[in-house]
A = this chain, B = another copy of it.
């Protein structure tokens, strides 16, 4: 089934955007799809198909790329017929018990842009669109190509900047914005109108007295991610400066690419890197001041890698770190690695600093970028930011759909997913 997840901190978007914050409306503006995405997979040309003598592997020779080999189990398990799959949604129906434990393929041929292949033991005929078959190929060459697409290409230089009005008017400029966040981790939208409606999903960052969250003070904020104590911390963060009085001094925003720092640690200090992959840090949210009390303690290593050993996640926030609770012999190695990683983050060549002005909205991937701010003095004025989060699954889906709309099969950056490429 498929429904709605209840959570005190989550808000439904639905299609009704009338009550949503301006920045969210912008984000969802082009979310309805005018065409079938499944039609967009190009059908590649094939030089021939063959089956190994023992019947366990099918090979497809593509005209323009290295051949792909598919195992008999894989072929049977992914059958596209209506008994085996709900074809509209590619939802499998075939339970494992229906796949013969000894399984060989009979014959294979190309028929009108599809591969048709039969299995011997259960006498099943399978048919696959060639475009689909190529898109999920697991040949070494194709996995390497996917892996390369998933690598982040780090760059220095100014942050890409967009105008609210231009994004509003053009789906292509919208795509440029979304793609800038996907590729660079951060982009700025200028002249975003400040809310004239009351919306429930934003959090206000405004300094005030008697606070229990350091964000609501004039103090500087170290580089951090929001909510690493959640199983799935926020993906996209939209931080919209709605007021900054002339009297206010300081308070520049700072960003750093945590994935870059993690990859630097991996390259330069492999032992420390291995420690931070292995030792679970403690993240927590504990308070009884809010509308509902929290006692959330979540342990996870600061860095994780996918099955190929490539960095796929970083978790970093001094503010929500709780006491380390690991076997004694891991404590000193942990701190040695923690100190080094903190140093690399602080001195990262990816650091960016700018002053958000009223109407500026910093849109960034909270899973990749650490954010912070310099200290400021209000001098009697007001400094106000409104923030909101987009779930990481939703953000990645949004980017993927925008690519697919344009017939682009581009793989997404390796953030979160435990893929093997």
Contacts and interface: CB of A to CB of B under 8 A. Distances in A.
Contacts of A156: none
A176 to B, nearest CB: 20
A244 to B, nearest CB: 17
A324 B74 contact: yes
B323 A3 contact: no
Interface in A312-358: 318-328, 330-332, 335, 338-339, 342-343, 346
A157 interface: no
Interface in A183-202: 200-202
A325 B136 contact: yes
A7 B10 contact: yes
Interface residues of A, number: 125
Nearest to A398: B292
A397 B37 contact: no
Nearest to A94: B318
A370 interface: no
Interface stretch (A112-120, A166-174, A251-259, A386-394): A386-394
B327 A420 contact: yes
Given A13-B7, A293-B37, A88 B287 contact: yes
A263 to B, nearest CB: 19
A388 to B, nearest CB: 6
B394 A332 contact: no
Interface stretch (A47-55, A297-305, A376-384): A297-305
B332 A90 contact: no
A214 B93 contact: yes
29 contacts: A1-B205, A3-B387, A4-B10, A4-B200, A4-B201, A4-B203, A4-B389, A5-B7, A5-B390, A6-B10, A6-B391, A7-B391, A37-B288, A71-B331, A77-B324, A94-B318, A95-B318, A96-B338, A101-B339, A136-B325, A146-B325, A231-B392, A231-B393, A231-B416, A280-B306, A280-B419, A294-B397, A299-B418, A326-B420
